[in-house]
Amino acid sequence: MVNCKVMNESILAVDDEPLILKTIEKALTKTGYNVKGVSSVEDFMDAIRKETFDLLVIDLHLGGMSPDAFLKKVRELALHSKILVISGSVAGLSGRYFLQKPFRIEELRQRVREILDEPGFD
């Protein structure tokens, strides 16, 4: 199991599929992260306007925005947050900051830890 180095690391997750969102919240909370889950673009945008999160776990297919427009808006509002994109159907995305659905819980935990361990923006 992946261990959190800093127990106050905060994660905001957004997914409109309740089962996936609950799975992400539970998996990361059990590992020691402070996790907030939301299921809509509006709640997500509201949360990143009000709070700073170490990591954003984002499903790109929400609220009718294109993935590019959504990510651009997120980056404008959350300059200091790292981002992990999750999706089952985004063509052309791959790499460290993307996790293809369906994914294993341990794979999610490992990727989150790797991203959080990277040097920050500050």
Contact in structure between 85 and 60 (CB atoms under 8 Å): yes
The pLDDT score that the predictor gives to residue 7 is 59
The pLDDT score that the predictor gives to residue 3 is 52
Q: What is the total residue count of the chain?
A: 122
pLDDT, one tens digit per residue, over 93-113 is 667 789 988 899 999 999 999
The pLDDT score that the predictor gives to residue 24 is 97
pLDDT, one tens digit per residue, over 2-29 is 554 545 899 999 999 999 999 999 999 9
pTM score of the predicted model? 0.88
The pLDDT score that the predictor gives to residue 8 is 83
Residues 6+ away with beta carbon under 8 Å from 70: 41, 58, 60, 62, 63
pLDDT, one tens digit per residue, over 36-81 is 999 998 999 999 999 999 999 999 777 677 878 888 888 898 989 9
Other Cβ atoms closer than 10 A to 88: 12
In the predicted model, is pLDDT for residue 30 greater than 60? yes
